[in-house]
Structure 1
Amino acid sequence: MDYLRNMWGYVLNCFNCQENQLSQGSEPNERSHLLIDPVSNSPAVRPVTDDFTHEYPSSLPKKDEQTVLSRIVQETASNIIDVAAMDMHNLEPQEYSDRVKLYAQRLSQQWSNINHPRTGPRGLLQDIPNPEEILSTTPISIADIQLMRSLAQAANAAVMEIEVEHTEDLIVPFRIT
């Protein structure tokens, strides 16, 4: 029962959302319609009539809840877009790039308004889980450090001595006529 109440509340919240047309002006936004009059091209949508009782006079009068439900179903049916029955709507390249810029700008504005919490503690040794354990162990001996340095220098010298001798031209023209 709670599931039905939650779903009912969700459906009502979806249909109670109203856009403020005065503040939008003629500027396109994420809620502006991409398709012009999509409902008129859809053969699956029947016209919505309020005089349901005239078509079916033998039906009983509806309760308030039933009228609300039928109105929601009719509004949903009128807002269904049959994509297969419609012509293709392509955005012009300029309009597409304008919308991309507009959406990127709005996204960056919203992202900058969010307070991002800092994750992890502040300190010098953030990547070491238990620095006291590592710092309390015996240090690396000086002989081992000198061995690592000499090996790194030998590897660096070996890499510096690598030479590449080319025997052919790098660019070969194709004789295409």
Structure 2
Amino acid sequence: MGCCFSSHQDSQKKPLIPDPNLNGVPGDDSEQNADSPPSNHRDEQALLTTILQQTALNIIDVSAVVSQGLEQREYMDRSRQYSTKLGVWSSTLSQKKPVPLPSLTGQPHQVLAADLVPCSDVQQVSKIAAYAYSAVSQIKVDSKEELVVQFAIP
């Protein structure tokens, strides 16, 4: 099986987006002028290129892996191993007792004899539930692009 993480272990993890104040000079907003946006655009473009290159290095292209066919004997051995493991798991699960439902109180008669919940509290909970239902029902997902995309590695 493959791993989606890099096999290359660094002694120190590098952040995906480097700190702009890494050179020790804090950014001063007062020094920005009309010429700054193109410079910032180039910096952002260089940063984006760096992120894309780093991502391309860390991606394992599983579609490029040549699948190896299993021999009939190897296939049968694996099938037997999986069946054995499944049998062991099913027998251990069937031997376990079902867990009883938790008891919220040891004296339910006292809870039932207690005063009722005030009507204002019930109305407040109902109002909050209606707001939550309204908010959840208004959530819409707009698909902008395909979830699986092809990466072109230069």
TM value normalised by structure 1: 0.31
TM-score for both structures, normalised by structure 2: 0.35
Which structure's CA Rg is the greater one? 1
